[in-house]
Amino acid sequence: MLVCCHFLIPCVALTISLERTWITSSQFALHLLFQANHRAELEALVVSPAYQRRGIGTRLLSTFLEEADTVGFQATLGASRFGRGLYKRFGFKDYKIMNLKLWEYEGGEKMGTDQHVIMNRPARELKG
């Protein structure tokens, strides 16, 4: 399935067709996957620290969800503690919380724990 998105971000205007797509700029990275099983997966949404708190993540997430709603797909993602509040504001609910022992991973020596949360937002009813 191909879905078209148009992103208007300061200094960046992109029109893309999505199946599995990476979008990157100096400001952000976005990775989306629209699957045949009626699930739109936000695989990555990263905004450069220099551009955070300017609404870029909110605009990217809004556009992604508008496209998911247009085709009646549920939306899923994996959230770090940094993005979880944003996703909750858009109606995402915790599906599974994973407690990570960072010291068990290469490069995580002398590090503590963190959480990664799988989140879901049900499909919206199609209009029309």
The model carries a pTM of 0.71
Q: What is the pLDDT of residue 25?
A: 53
Rounded Cα distance between 121 and 31, Å, is 17
Q: How far apart are CA 13 and CA 113, in angstroms?
A: 38
The backbone region for 104, taken as left when phi is positive above 0, alpha when psi lies in -120 to 50, beta otherwise, is alpha
pLDDT at residue number 40: 82
CA distances from 13 to 2, 34, 58 (A): 19, 21, 16
Query: Could you tell me which residue, 26 or 83, shows the higher pLDDT?
Result: 83
Instruction: Report pLDDT digits (tens) over 49-62.
Output: 887 888 888 888 88
| Each residue's pLDDT tens digit, 17-58 | 344 444 555 555 555 666 667 788 887 787 878 878 888 888
Higher pLDDT, 22 or 76: 76
Average pLDDT estimate for 78-97:
93
- pLDDT of residue 128 exceeding 80, the answer is no
Domain residue ranges in the chain: 3-121
Q: How is domain 3-121 classified at the architecture level of CATH?
A: 3-Layer(aba) Sandwich (3.40)
